[in-house]
Amino acid sequence: MEFPDYVKAKKRTNEKILNENYEFNINLRDLGKDKTYYLKTYGCQMNEHDSENIKAMLENMGFTAIDDYETADLVILNTCSIRENAHNKAFGMLGRLKHIKENNNPNLIVGLCGCMAQEEGVIDEIVHKYKWVNFVIGTHNLHHLPEVLNLSIENNKQEVEVFSKEGSIIEGIPVKRDSKYKAYVNIIYGCDKFCTYCIVPFTRGKQRSRNGKDIIREVEELVKDGYQEVTLLGQNVNAYGKDFDYDYNMENLLEDVAKTGIKRIFFMTSHPWDFTDGMIDVIAKYDNIMPFIHLPVQSGSSRILKLMGRRYTKESYIELFDKIKEKVPGVVISTDIIVGFPGETEEDFKETLDLVEHCKYDSAYTFIYSPREKTPAAALTNQVDEKVKEERLQRLNELINKYSLESNEKILDKTVPVLVDGISTKKGELFGYTNTKKLVNFTGDESLIGKIVNVHITDVKTWSIDGESVE
Ligand code: 5AD
Ligand code: SF4
């Protein structure tokens, strides 16, 4: 049993991060024979990719995936801590699972992993009030899933294994990718930025980069397997390589990934602080690095940015934004914005609207500030009233929507390349993404799935883009 501890989780040391290889305990290969599993994923792409690892580990033990948690033998929740609603959703699901375990399936095994597993308060609650949850496994030791699951079954009691401090980087964890054409590739784990509202540096640990050669090998294999697209993942990808004792950074990595010849490269998320001129030049130079950048601003008020610990001002952000727009032809930039950070005044909020007016973002994720356990901002006494937060979110969204529509209108009547994902469930048409991550529904033949095809855009709205393939 090992429980999360925030004091340890917050500590950053210069200890060298080791690389280890995943080893599968072959004795567990039949643990899931004739058994089914249901995996529910909450949160970001990092979690989605972790779930691809979880699926492979489970299937290597003989478990079979099903879509219905009511009849599954094993249910795992891969959770998210970023805002309270993600947290509430997972607890809501636990309530439903408790009901199933009590009434229909007493042998149901329930496991919890992901960011919530790293939260002191959550684990306290699970251990004391959710004794029927069979196991909890943290983000740093996800590769122990087979052993932890096995222990909880063998001992027939709740097993909690959560390391507060990050361990080694584990290479070779099996993966069952959701797509045959596009893939997530982790490049850096953790975050050292400690923005004052954010729980991620506690739940995901110290910033640590994967070796370049391991990343390149993975991308080369994806190319061989016919993959068209990779998204390089990290909480802050621009910090890539900062923890190496040799010179190799995001600019170098982007260039080396571009040279593998993979057709499309995306990367996310970028913190404005670490975005170098060298990176901008590489993005502009290679046709296979997509002209799409997610550049969270969080607020347009320099006063609030300082309180958030973001390390840039409104002015320096705009300078970076304008430079990227100027140097990368046709670039599309999206952002994240939080409204209602403690102490945010109407004046501060207007600064955010003003910044949006300047940047005219192609798209944006907007959030109401949500206090998170033990983060510095949660302790501030001048929290903004819920009604004010909601009203600000609505005003912000109106402006964001206006510019999203304007951005979509730029491709109306144009022919753009689209990587075809599949058949859209609603319309029965094909769907796919442009090289600036715009979702397009279009008519075309099923044989186009998995290919990059030219689509003529016939109609655009704020939330949808329609077209027809012109092959
Ligand atoms: N409240 C609201 N939004 C948050 N984010 C991170 N922490 C919080 C919080 N406590 C948002 C930020 C970040 C995105 C992933 O989630 O905008 O960029
Ligand atoms: Fe959270 Fe800031 Fe790190 Fe992003 S950069 S994960 S917002 S602490």
pLDDT tens track for 308-328: 999 999 999 999 999 999 999
Instruction: Indicate the top mutation candidate among 10, 81, 115, 193 to test ligand 2's pocket, ranked by most ligand atoms within 8 A of CB.
Output: 193
Ligand 1 center to 66 CA (angstroms): 32
Task: Please report, to the nearest 10 degrees, the dihedral formed by the alpha carbons of residues 92, 98, 101, 103 taken in order.
Answer: -100
Segment 80-96, tens digit of pLDDT: 999 999 999 999 999 99
Residue 166 inside a domain? The answer is no
**Average pLDDT, integer, range 227-233:** 98
* Whether residue 182 sits in one domain with residue 149: no
Residue 42 inside a domain? The answer is yes
Total domains in the chain come to: 3
Q: Which atom of ligand 1 is nearest to the CA of 368?
A: 2
Confidence of residue 7 (pLDDT cuts 50, 70, 90): confident
Residue 353 inside a domain? The answer is yes
Assigned token pair, 289: 């690095």
* Whether residue 226 sits in one domain with residue 86: no
Point out the ligand nearest to the CA of residue 203.
2
Instruction: Indicate the top mutation candidate among 80, 139, 271, 295 to test ligand 2's pocket, ranked by most ligand atoms within 8 A of CB.
Output: 271
Report pLDDT for 413: 97
User: Does 15 have pLDDT greater than 90?
Assistant: no
CATH code, domain carrying 96: 3.40.50.12160
Q: What is the DSSP string of 347-407?
A: HHHHHHHHHHHHH--SEEEEEE----TT-GGGG-S-PPPHHHHHHHHHHHHHHHHHHHHHH
CATH code, domain carrying 437: 2.40.50.140
Quick check: 124 and 6 in contact, CB under 8 A? no
Segment 423-453, tens digit of pLDDT: 987 777 999 999 999 999 999 899 999 999 9
Ligand 1 center to 317 CA (angstroms): 18
Q: How far apart are CA 408 and CA 457, in angstroms?
A: 10
Tell me which H or E stretch contains 95: helix 84-103
Residue 317 inside a domain? The answer is yes
Q: Which of 409, 431, 454 is the last residue of a domain?
A: 409
Mean pLDDT of all residues belonging to the chain: 96
CB under 8 Å to 434, separation ≥6 — which residues? 411, 416, 417, 418, 440
Q: Which of 375, 409, 443 is the last residue of a domain?
A: 409
Residue 171 inside a domain? The answer is no
Confidence of residue 10 (pLDDT cuts 50, 70, 90): confident
Nearest CA to ligand 1 atom 16: 82
* Whether residue 395 sits in one domain with residue 262: yes
- Going by the DSSP 8-state scheme, the letter that residue 268 receives in this structure is E
* Whether residue 207 sits in one domain with residue 310: yes
Q: Which atom of ligand 2 is nearest to the CA of 310?
A: 2
* Whether residue 404 sits in one domain with residue 419: no
CA angle 342, 345, 347 (to 5 degrees): 145
Segment 350-384, tens digit of pLDDT: 999 999 999 999 999 999 999 999 999 999 999 99
Ligand 2 center to 207 CA (angstroms): 11
Ligand 1 center to 338 CA (angstroms): 7
Instruction: Indicate the top mutation candidate among 42, 46, 80, 82 to test ligand 1's pocket, ranked by most ligand atoms within 8 A of CB.
Output: 82
Task: Please report, to the nearest 10 degrees, the dihedral formed by the alpha carbons of residues 349, 353, 359, 365 taken in order.
Answer: 70
Report pLDDT for 471: 67
CATH code, domain carrying 274: 3.80.30.20
Ligand 1 center to 81 CA (angstroms): 10
Percent of the chain with pLDDT over 70: 100
Q: How far apart are CA 111 and CA 99, in angstroms?
A: 15
User: Does 203 have pLDDT greater than 90?
Assistant: yes
Q: Which atom of ligand 1 is nearest to the CA of 336?
A: 17
Report pLDDT for 11: 87
* Whether residue 222 sits in one domain with residue 114: no
Segment 231-266, tens digit of pLDDT: 999 999 999 999 999 999 999 999 999 999 999 999
Ligand 2 center to 50 CA (angstroms): 19
Confidence of residue 347 (pLDDT cuts 50, 70, 90): very high
**Average pLDDT, integer, range 379-402:** 97
Q: How far apart are CA 194 and CA 6, in angstroms?
A: 13
- Pocket of ligand 1, beta carbon within 6 A: 82-83, 197-198, 296, 298, 336, 338, 367, 369-370, 372
* Whether residue 279 sits in one domain with residue 149: no
Ligand 2 center to 46 CA (angstroms): 13
Tell me which H or E stretch contains 460: strand 452-460
Instruction: Indicate the top mutation candidate among 338, 339, 363, 372 to test ligand 1's pocket, ranked by most ligand atoms within 8 A of CB.
Output: 338
Confidence of residue 13 (pLDDT cuts 50, 70, 90): confident
Query: Amino acid identity, residue 27?
Result: N
Report pLDDT for 426: 73
Ligand 2 center to 271 CA (angstroms): 8
Q: Which atom of ligand 2 is nearest to the CA of 199?
A: 1
| Residue range(s) defining the domain that contains residue 48 | 6-161
Residue 373 inside a domain? The answer is yes
Confidence of residue 139 (pLDDT cuts 50, 70, 90): very high
Instruction: Indicate the top mutation candidate among 235, 337, 372 to test ligand 2's pocket, ranked by most ligand atoms within 8 A of CB.
Output: 235
* Whether residue 297 sits in one domain with residue 254: yes
Point out the ligand nearest to the CA of residue 299.
1
